[in-house]
Amino acid sequence: MKSLFSSTSIGLLGLSVLIGLVYFSTPCNAQTLTASRLSMIIVPPQGTRWPTLFAANYNGTEAPLSQIIFTWTWSDDRTSDQSCTYRGRTAQSPCRGRVVERVANTAGTWSVTLSANVAGFPMIRRTQTFTVSSSLSTPTVTRREVRSLSSASWTALVQALQRAKALGIYDHFVYLHQVTGVTNVRVGSNRNAAHRGPAFLPWHRVFLRHMERVLQVISGNSGIAIPYWDWTIDQGLAGGPRSSTVWTNALFGPGGVSTNGYAVPSGPFCSTRSSTCAGLWPVVINGPTLDRELGRWASTLPSANSIRSINTTISVYDSGTYDDRANGAQSFRTALEGFSGQFGGAHNLVHVFVGGSMSPLSSPNDPVFFFHHCNIDRIWYLWQRSRGCYSGCYRPLANDPSVTQSTPGSQFVNGQWRIVGHHWNDNMPPWGVSPSRVADSTNSLIGYNYA
Ligand SMILES: [Cu+2]
């Protein structure tokens, strides 16, 4: 398999990291950019075939920032025209390049050069190396229930999320989720590359871990872990789930009210601009505000009993139609995703309870998405662990006879019927990661566990 990166030039380019900043002579009519205001963010992958994330920002206020072109040049390849998408009018609106991702199929040390040009003149150029490893190079972190975090840990997490938002990286994740939600949808089935099908659980496992790595890298704190929100606790509260402490400014912040379009009025993810809100959380896709309609469309959350019964009564990972019509008694995946109607709605019910920005495919707009999906991932993790159900339990396997011509949305590929993107060894778009790489939570490449 051909790597995206050539290995021939590594030695030479590896030296260039020592050179650091390179300035070019600038024509007298061009604006000089300030090197210290250019940020170059590289989030190395979890392992081979995991994406490496690249982002560039310019935080200056000089004109004409609208003309900045960011160009990434990899060891063997040139990707250009990562234009400035925000005019740098204020320090709060940096000039951002598009976030780009690359997949390296083999382990090695790679280098990349970022150029920031104004009106065609090279202004700043910076080269950096990064390593693609075949084994996990970061410490394994422990994910905890959000209410058990120390205030210092919660604050560090919020600051990392706000930084990811300011750098444009957070919104890249919203975009990834939205795009994947309309990928591989075929006649006869509502299944897409990330939902209503077997890959629902491994896809979101990769999505969360990818974000967790981003938060670790941009904060310089490899101990940051995404906390989980165990909503069964809230369902058991005497005052009902809306009375939970998660909906206070100390944690997620409150829901909105109808007179303000349900915009979140305060807290760390407040996006309105009012006397009570810093406007830290602008929403780009389906914005402009972060909205929550707590309890409006569903007044309950999944109960501890319903989740216990999913965990104890279902022994099959997935089967049947392998989509949103699969029988929940024969599909742990669809029971947990919440389409079977047999177990109280599970994952879906939580999205409906929160409402607002958590409803459409752009639902990662609300950081609550990550805390919610962390709990979904934990339930899968516990199910796997209690049954010893790692590599052997996933369905469909690579050549699974249960996928046939009559399986909704199946395709005949290389001599067999397949639901593309959902088999054990399939790459899950938009990455090169397969369920087999993450369904085994005993695998050291996972990088986290649960307390
Ligand atoms: Cu999703």
Using the Cα atoms of residue 426, residue 445, residue 358 and residue 171 in order, give the sign of their dihedral: negative
Q: How far is the CA of 201 from the centre of ligand 1 (A)?
A: 9
Q: How far is the CA of 150 from the centre of ligand 1 (A)?
A: 28
Q: Is the pLDDT of residue 442 over 80?
A: no
Provide Rg for the chain, Cα atoms. 23
Q: How far is the CA of 349 from the centre of ligand 1 (A)?
A: 13
Q: pLDDT tens digit string along 232-245?
A: 999 999 999 999 99
Q: How far is the CA of 194 from the centre of ligand 1 (A)?
A: 6
Residue 60: count of CB within 10 angstroms of its CB: 18
Q: pLDDT tens digit string along 188-244?
A: 999 999 999 999 999 999 999 999 999 999 999 999 999 999 999 999 999 999 999
Side chain identity at 134, as an amino acid letter?
S
User: Which CATH topology does 10-132 take?
Assistant: Immunoglobulin-like (2.60.40)
Q: How far is the CA of 174 from the centre of ligand 1 (A)?
A: 10
- CATH class of segment(s) 231-394: mainly alpha
How confident is the prediction for the chain on average, in pLDDT? 86
Q: How far is the CA of 373 from the centre of ligand 1 (A)?
A: 8
Kindly give, in sequence order, each residue whose CB lies less than 8 Å from that of residue 209, ignoring residues fewer than 6 positions away. 46, 438, 446, 447, 448
From 236, 230, 351, 224, select the one nearest 296 (Cα to Cα): 351
pLDDT at 68: 80
Q: Which two tokens stand for residue 236?
A: 């058991």
Domain residue spans of the chain:
10-132, 231-394
Q: How far is the CA of 281 from the centre of ligand 1 (A)?
A: 20
Q: How far is the CA of 2 from the centre of ligand 1 (A)?
A: 31
Do the Cβ atoms of 156 and 224 come closer than 8 Å?
A: yes
The rounded distance, in Å, linking the Cα atoms of 374 and 371 is: 5
Q: How far is the CA of 329 from the centre of ligand 1 (A)?
A: 22
Do the Cβ atoms of 27 and 119 come closer than 8 Å?
A: no
Per-residue confidence at 143, pLDDT binned at 50, 70, 90? very high
CA torsion, ordered 94, 95, 100, 106, to nearest 10 deg = -80
The rounded distance, in Å, linking the Cα atoms of 343 and 310 is: 7
Q: How far is the CA of 177 from the centre of ligand 1 (A)?
A: 6
Residue 20: count of CB within 10 angstroms of its CB: 10
Q: How far is the CA of 208 from the centre of ligand 1 (A)?
A: 10
The rounded distance, in Å, linking the Cα atoms of 200 and 336 is: 10
The rounded distance, in Å, linking the Cα atoms of 448 and 428 is: 20
pLDDT at 10: 32
Residue 279: count of CB within 10 angstroms of its CB: 12
Structure pTM? 0.90
Q: How far is the CA of 204 from the centre of ligand 1 (A)?
A: 6
Largest CA distance in the chain: 74
